[in-house]
Each structure stands twice: as C-alpha cells, then as structure tokens.
A and B are shown apart, each in its own frame.
Chain A
Amino acid sequence: MTTKDTDFAIEGHGDISVGVHGAGASGDGSASATRITPGNALPGNALRPEDIALEISRGQVKPDEDVAEFALRLGDDGLILAQRLGHWISRAPELEEDIALGNIALDQLGHARSFLTYAGAAWGKSEDDLAYFRREHEFRSAHLFEQPNGDFAVTIARQFIVSFYQYGLYSRLMESTDATIAAISAKAVKEVDYHRDHSAQWVLRLAGGTDESRARIIQGFKLVWPYVDELFEDDELTTRLSEAGVTVQPSSLRAEFDRLTGQIMTEAELDIPAVPQAPGGGRRGKHSEFMGYILAEMQVLAREHPGASW
C-alpha cells in the first residue's frame, strides 16, 4: 500500500489535473476511468479555451482570415444559444430539467469560447472582445440560434434541430485540415451527442404525452422549422474552405440530418412542418429583431464596466 502508490497513482493524478482543471475537487480524488490522462488522450480531448489562448500567445497557432471567419460562425452559434438557454435557469418545468438545460448551455458556451478564442487570434482580439464588443451586424450566428425560447416545447424543438445539425457538422470537422478546429470539434461532438439524445428523448415524450404536450411540440416545430435551411446553405466562404479541407459544404450535411431527425420524428409520429423557409442572412450579419435584445442583455455589464473582473 505504501510503495506502490507513490510513483504511479500520485503522479498520475498530478498529470490529470493539468488536463481537467480542478479534478481533485470532486471529493474522493480517486482515479477515474473517465478522466483524461495525457497517455490515452484523443486529439483535443481535454482542450480548453485557455489552452488555445496559450498556444496563440506562444505563436503556435494562428488562423488565416477565412478560418477565423468560419470559427466566428461556429462560436457565435454557440454563444447566442447559450445566452438563450441560460434564460431557462430557475424557470424550467422541473428542477432536474433546469440543470439539464443549464448543462447544455454551458457546453455550448464552452465551444463558443474555444472557437472565439481561436478566431480572435487572427485579429489580435480575445474571446471577450469578440463576445462583448462587437455590434449586431458583426455577429455571424444563424437565425435559429437567436429564436426565442417560447415554452419548453419550443426550446426542445430548437435544441433538437441544433443538436442534430451540430452533431453532423462537428463529426465531419474532426477530420478538418485545421488542427485547432478539429480538436475543438472532437471535444464538442461528445457533448453535442448528449444534447441530441436529451432533446430526442423529450421530443418523443412531448409528442407521446398528453394532448396538450403534443399540441405544444407540434407548435414548437412549426415555429423553428423555418430556420432549418439557413443552416445548410453554402456560400463563398464554405466553398473556399471545403476545397482546402477545413470544413465540408453545409449542404452535404443535409441528407444525414434529414435521415436522423426523420427517424425520431417518425417514431414520435410527427410530421415535418410544411412551412416556408425564412430568408436567413445571419452568416452575413443580418439578424432578426431578437438579436439586438439578446446582445443588449449579454453585453451590458462588460460595456458598462470595461475590464471588470471578480
């Protein structure tokens, strides 16, 4: 018990805390199979925004203009959605669901921080500069992410679309020729996989629950479905980047998205809403009327008290 422990277990724990910040705080401090050790780490497994910032400050990574613009899109999607989901905290139908939505919001915020940190390296800006000191037309998120929470069913419908879209995208981005994008995506894809499961479970339950819950999820999908097409639109940037192997054309993700969401929708006995598609424009900085209010709430503290910390 004395000699064997010292070299392996303790040193192993020391390494672990580098990868997972504050891992020892969980109480028992015993080594866990889920903790990331450098030895078995997949690329980007425990990648944090701080690690990316460090690499940037050492001059090890620097995205070119196109990659930065692309990272900005991904980061803004996550950031705006996190802000939306955070609104549910203390308002969810049940305490347990409060935490579930809060967890999802934090996951999204984590991805956003990584992507924005990376994007900012191209222009000498920090993640905070980008999140708090850009104006509405400088945000590149798609319209779906800024759609109001509505009732619980609307939030679930929105999350369902988002998670299946992000899962497809991040799965492909893991093979990106840009190592940082690939690493962030490798970490994000596991979290998004759970978001997918969470929202699918709720779609099934709301659709198969009471008449009221079914009416609400049908209504929820009707409200958010117009924003699906925008997610899969190709443009000049994605064309250039897909040729460079940094990403894939968004349109190439559509078939798989339709197949996977279709399975759940069929199981839930829901129809894909026959609604016209919104014009979109979020990737070009054209946003709906909701965006300004989201930004006002999100940015007010940082702008009122620049550089504030606690």
Chain B
Amino acid sequence: MAPHGNPEEPASAAGEIKREAPKVAATNAESTTTAHAARPAGTHAARPAGTPGGAKEEHPWSLWEVFVRSSRGLSHVHAGSLHAPDAAMALRNARDLYTRRNEGVSIWVVPAEAISSSDPDAKGAFFESPQGKDYRHATYYTKSEGVKHL
C-alpha cells in the first residue's frame, strides 16, 4: 500500500481487484507497467506484444494518420499521426492531440496502412521529369497582342 492515500492503486481497489481477478491479472499489470516505463514517446508499436502473460490479449493500437481542416473552404492538411484502438477513438484522440489550440473545424483519420505512398528511391523517375519543362507553366507564354483582361 502506497503512503499518503494518493496511491496509483488505492488500497481498497487493489485489494478487491486482486482477490477477484485470476493470477494472470497481476502478470498483466506488471507487463503493462514495464512497457509503459520503457515507452519512448510515440512509439507504441515497439510495445512488446509477446510479453509473457499479455501475449494473448495485447494488441498494440494501430496507427492512424490525421488530417485537419483549419477553416471552411480550405482543404484537410496532414497534421500527424497517432495510435488508437479504432476509428471512433482515433477521431477523439485526434481532437485531443491536434485541435487543442483551435486549429480545426473538421478532422479526418485514415488507417496508416490504407495510404499508398510514392517510393522515396524513385524520386528521379517520379518527380524530376517536369524540370526544364517551363512550357507547362502559364508564365512561359507571352501575352498575345490585343487580349484584354489577362
């Protein structure tokens, strides 16, 4: 029992829970604490899924990408990512993490695995082709004589 009556597990609660819960519970609680203590900020995926006692039940939360629209008329912009057990909680976590300072009027959350991204190694093939093709910009062209309102 922790001193000062402000324990992480109150004496009353701890006693009763341990009486009722099977032995696995204690191991579970312990492994959670360990994972928690070792938790580097934001790397939940590193949480040991195979910890003894927790292997069966513990599914690390999946990763979600968050898009926030800051104002009506603007588009949703990628704000960051977070972990959540499901879409409903992901939305709430996103609200708590990314709109604390009045940043948004709308949030999208997308499972990270649903996003296909371009290969960083294929940069040349993907993105360098437009270079030197100035004629794809409107500014390349000179205004024809006599055209108004340009």
Contacts and interface: CB of A to CB of B under 8 A. Distances in A.
A293 B5 contact: yes
A99 interface: yes
A94 interface: yes
B4 to A, nearest CB: 5
B124 interface: no
Contacts of B78: none
Interface stretch (A116-124, A132-140, A178-186, A197-205): A197-205
B13 A151 contact: yes
B36 A93 contact: yes
Interface string B76-93: 000000111100110011
Interface in A25-60: 25-28, 30-35
Given A212-B25, A215-B20, A219-B16, A294 B6 contact: yes
A23 B101 CA distance: 7
Contacts of B36: 91, 93
Contacts of A91: 8, 36
A297 B39 CA distance: 27
Interface in B17-38: 17, 20-21, 24-25, 28, 32, 36
B126 to A, nearest CB: 29
Interface in A90-111: 91, 93-97, 99-100, 103
Contacts of A292: 5
Interface string A146-160: 001111001000000
29 contacts: A23-B102, A26-B102, A28-B70, A30-B74, A32-B104, A32-B105, A93-B36, A95-B39, A95-B83, A99-B97, A103-B96, A148-B6, A149-B10, A150-B10, A151-B13, A151-B17, A201-B89, A201-B92, A212-B25, A215-B17, A215-B21, A219-B13, A219-B16, A219-B17, A223-B12, A289-B5, A290-B5, A292-B5, A297-B6
A210 interface: yes
B83 A96 contact: yes
B7 interface: yes
A87 interface: yes
Given A28-B70, A34-B104, A95 B42 contact: yes
Contact of B93 (A26, A31, A96, A194): A96
Contacts of B96: 96, 99-100, 103
Nearest to A147: B10
Nearest to B82: A96
B89 A205 contact: yes
A253 interface: no
Contacts of A26: 101-103
Contacts of B70: 28, 30, 32
A154 B13 contact: yes
Interface in A211-238: 212, 215-216, 219, 222-223
B69 to A, nearest CB: 10
A201 B61 CA distance: 16
B101 A25 contact: yes
A93 B32 contact: yes
B71 A30 contact: yes
Contacts of A265: none
Contacts of A33: 71-72, 105
Contact of A96 (B25, B84, B103): B84
B9 A151 contact: yes
Contacts of B12: 148, 223
A222 B88 CA distance: 27
A251 to B, nearest CB: 28
